[in-house]
Amino acid sequence: MNVNQILNMVIKLVMRKAINSGINAGIKGASKMGNRRKQSKGEVDDYGQPIGHEGRPQPGNKMSQEQVRQTRKAARVANRIGKM
């Protein structure tokens, strides 16, 4: 075996372990979020974030189309500023 093959084997081994540990961590985090949602159902949204006075919409409140447009426009402007 030459050095190139050995190097490729080592790199593949390291990458496989890194990717698997990342996937495992993501799955564990998602399962913890699901458990947290079940415990306090009325206090968190679908993504496990607390619902309340932080600017997140309440479950029954619908945004008008104009509010949605303004929100998307503000997000676009913020992304543009962030890229500069």
pTM: predicted TM-score of the whole model, two decimal places: 0.39
Structure-derived torsion over alpha carbons of residues 45, 46, 48, 52, reported in degrees to the nearest 10: -10
Residue indicated by tokens 């496989």? 16
At residue 40 the predicted structure's pLDDT band, cuts being 50, 70 and 90, is: low
Q: Answer yes or no: is 2 within a domain.
A: yes
Spatial separation of the C-alpha atoms in residues 62 and 80, rounded to whole Å = 27
Q: Answer yes or no: is 54 within a domain.
A: no
Q: Answer yes or no: is 22 within a domain.
A: yes
Q: Answer yes or no: is 51 within a domain.
A: no
Q: Answer yes or no: is 33 within a domain.
A: yes
pLDDT value at position 65?
84
SS3 50: strand
Contacts of 20 (CB under 8 A, 6+ apart): none
pLDDT value at position 82?
81
Domain range for 10 is: 1-40
Domain count, the chain: 1
The residue ranking higher by pLDDT, 58 or 26, is: 26
